[in-house]
Amino acid sequence: MGKVVVGLSRTAAAAGALRWAVERAVERALALDIVTAVPIPVPIAAPVGTLAVVPDRERLVRAARREQDQLLRQVIAEVGEPPEIRRTVACGDPFHVLQQAAEDAELVVLGPSKRRLLPLAKRCRRRLDCPVVVVTDGHPE
């Protein structure tokens, strides 16, 4: 079975991208892979002689999973459920996380973000072996 991969970011537009991806997966009877990349936590700088604070990786992953759950429940209630749903939350560079998830994908869907996504979308369009769609305000670009 083919799949639609949707990259979710922590933006208000994530619901629109997820909704559009779910609609495509339902109408084409494809699996849906929901992917969220969480930045790798780095120590926060601290003055010499004090302890540096390192963000808790597991806490960041749990928060991303909760956001996926919440958005997915909302969208499925409105659109319907695709044949199969797989979810991934991985620490790392968003492009590399998406690249790994997009193997054998028929389509990759991204929502817009403030800064990083346009370069990410361009990178994905150049380097992935499937179409990449950016959904803004519920409409593909």
Tens digit of pLDDT for each residue in 14-32? Answer: 889 999 999 999 999 999 9
Domain with 58, as residue range(s), is: 3-140
Residues 68 and 76 sit within 8 Å (Cβ to Cβ): no
How many structural domains comprise the chain?
1
pTM to 2 decimals? 0.86
**CA-based nearest residue to 107, from 55, 45, 33, 11:** 33
Could you tell me the two tokens for 134?
């950016």
When computed from its CA atoms, the radius of gyration of the chain, rounded to whole angstroms, is: 16
Could you tell me the two tokens for 56?
């808790």
> Mind listing the pLDDT tens digit for each residue in 77-92?
998 888 899 999 999 9
Instruction: Write the CATH number for 91.
Output: 3.40.50.620
Rounded to the nearest angstrom, the gap between the alpha carbon of residue 123 and the centroid of all alpha carbons in its chain is 15
User: Residue for token digits 């998830």?
Assistant: 101
From first to last of its 141 residues, the chain has per-residue pLDDT tens of 799 999 998 777 888 999 999 999 999 999 999 999 998 766 666 566 665 556 678 888 999 999 999 999 999 999 888 889 999 999 999 999 999 999 999 999 998 766 655 688 889 999 999 999 999 877 787
